[in-house]
């Protein structure tokens, strides 16, 4: 074939290709497939890519009247694909993925991290006064830590954390920078504050209509238990998860001490610091430590002498201050003779070695006098010795002579002070 014929065939092929491309776009591939009808240029390959013009930053900036959307690859500086987001007369080159107006993304990169500091982020709504906002009619937001020792969430700084009620900032929960937490309180003044409303405040356990917790009534703190027939309110100690009841208020209002509610008519008696109180008969409490002492013989007290009535001495130990009522009963007589005179008997209560009460009883010669008296002593904690003595001024005084010794006795009764 002559050179002239070859040139003619080449021109015809070019013209045919141009006419075909003008009609349906250009397809460049290794299979001979036509271009997609929606594309002016359709590139297809499994081994090669598209190589756009490669320019330095200076060369890119020197392009005259670059078309809007013009793409080049910058080979120096911050390398990457750049496109003109402006106009030919006023180019504005943006790197693909660059943050800022007109870029394809507002996120910036820092190594393997991304960040955005220029404005606010909103999901499901438009940005408002919050730096981050999420809103939806269904499930909205979740934070989950898959590591049991990991940190689920951290809120720092000095500001507040609010969980709002509808149109009420902090209407549900407010956490201040000083650690004060308010439930339904916008400005909690204590470490835990509740809304100023009466009723139940804390429910510790609720099940099948039974509720246990704390509430506020009119001018009172309430500890409640709705369980029935149980529903006690118990106070005790807990050692290694084992609760030991000390006191309990039963559902019907009864008071239990150490698990015992006592019997009708009993009162609560303190046993001091060494043990818990117990239920006791009220007489046993009022007259705790009651005792009676009987004389063990008859004595004669000579003139100007003093003697302790045998058997009328005893000791008692008190845990605290108390009132001790001491009662004394004696039969006194003097001998009968023509020239005998009477006697003056001083009946005395001695406490811890010294006299604390003294009564005077005149006994005429040959007569018998019955002496009875009661004294109240205010005593403190400790051990005390009480004894009955008779001091004589005058003729001899017989105490019990000729009479039954059971007529000579001392009793005491101890009552709380």
pLDDT tens, position by position, 231-245: 889 999 998 889 998
Q: What is the pLDDT of residue 130?
A: 86
Q: Quote the CA–CA distance of 250 and 244 in Å, as a whole number.
A: 16
Residues in the chain: 417
3-class DSSP state of 14 = helix
Fill in the DSSP letter of residue 252: T
Q: What is the pLDDT of residue 210?
A: 82
Q: What is the pLDDT of residue 403?
A: 52
- How many CB atoms within 10 Å of residue 107? 14
Q: What is the pLDDT of residue 131?
A: 87
Angle at 37 between CA 35 and CA 39, to 5 degrees: 70
The answer to whether the CB of 322 falls within 8 A of the CB of 305 is no
Domain positions in the chain are: 3-114, 291-416
Q: What is the pLDDT of residue 229?
A: 67
Query: Smallest Cα–Cα separation from 389: which of 369, 416, 368, 371?
Result: 371
The answer to whether the CB of 57 falls within 8 A of the CB of 74 is yes
Pairing between β-strand 108-110 and β-strand 220-225 as defined by DSSP bridges? unpaired
Contacts of 39 (CB under 8 A, 6+ apart): 25
Q: What is the pLDDT of residue 285?
A: 47
Whole-structure pTM value:
0.46
Given a cut of 50, the residues of the chain with pLDDT beneath it are 5-16, 18-21, 100-103, 284-287
Of the options 3.40.50.2000, 3.30.70.270, 2.60.120.760, 3.30.530.20, the CATH number for the domain spanning 291-416? 2.60.120.760
Question: What's the gap between Cα 184 and its chain centre?
Answer: 18
3-class DSSP state of 60 = helix
Q: What is the pLDDT of residue 371?
A: 92
């Amino acid at each position: 074939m002559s050179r002239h014929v070859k040139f003619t065939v080449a021109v015809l092929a070019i013209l045919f290709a141009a006419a075909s491309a003008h009609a349906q776009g250009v397809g460049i591939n290794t299979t001979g497939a036509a271009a997609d009808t929606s594309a002016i240029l359709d590139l297809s390959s499994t081994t090669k890519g598209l190589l756009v013009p490669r320019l330095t930053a200076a060369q890119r900036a020197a392009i005259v009247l670059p078309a809007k959307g013009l793409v080049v690859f910058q080979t120096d500086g911050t390398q990457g694909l750049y496109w003109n987001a402006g106009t030919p007369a006023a180019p504005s080159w943006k790197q693909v993925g660059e943050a800022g107006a007109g870029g394809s993304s507002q996120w910036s990169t820092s190594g393997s991290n991304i960040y955005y500091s220029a404005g606010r982020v909103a999901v499901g709504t438009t940005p408002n006064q919050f730096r981050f906002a999420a809103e939806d009619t269904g499930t909205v937001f979740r934070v989950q830590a898959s590591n049991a020792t990991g940190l689920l969430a951290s809120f720092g700084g000095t500001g507040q954390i609010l969980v709002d009620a509808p149109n009420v900032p902090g209407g549900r929960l407010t956490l201040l920078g000083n650690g004060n937490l308010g439930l339904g309180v916008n400005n909690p003044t204590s470490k835990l504050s509740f809304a100023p409303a009466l009723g139940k405040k804390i429910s510790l356990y609720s099940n099948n209509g039974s509720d246990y917790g704390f509430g506020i009534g009119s001018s009172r703190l309430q500890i409640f238990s709705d369980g029935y027939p149980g529903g006690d309110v118990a106070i005790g100690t807990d050692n290694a998860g084992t609760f030991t009841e000390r006191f309990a208020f039963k559902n019907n209002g009864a008071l239990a001490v150490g698990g015992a509610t006592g019997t009708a008519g009993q009162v609560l008696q303190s046993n001091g610091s060494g043990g818990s109180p117990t239920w006791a008969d009220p007489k046993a409490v009022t007259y705790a430590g009651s005792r009676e002492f009987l004389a063990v013989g008859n004595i004669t007290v000579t003139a100007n002498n003093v003697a302790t009535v045998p058997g009328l001495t005893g000791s008692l130990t008190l845990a605290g201050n108390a009132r001790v009522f001491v009662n004394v009963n004696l039969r006194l007589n003097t001998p009968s003779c023509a020239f005998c005179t009477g006697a003056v008997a001083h009946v005395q209560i001695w406490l811890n070695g010294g006299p604390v009460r003294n009564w005077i009883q005149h006994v005429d010669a040959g007569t018998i006098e019955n002496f009875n008296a009661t004294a109240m002593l205010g005593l403190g904690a400790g051990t005390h010795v009480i004894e009955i003595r008779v001091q004589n001024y005058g003729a001899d005084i017989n105490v019990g002579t000729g009479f039954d010794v059971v007529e000579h006795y001392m009793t005491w009764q101890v009552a709380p002070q």
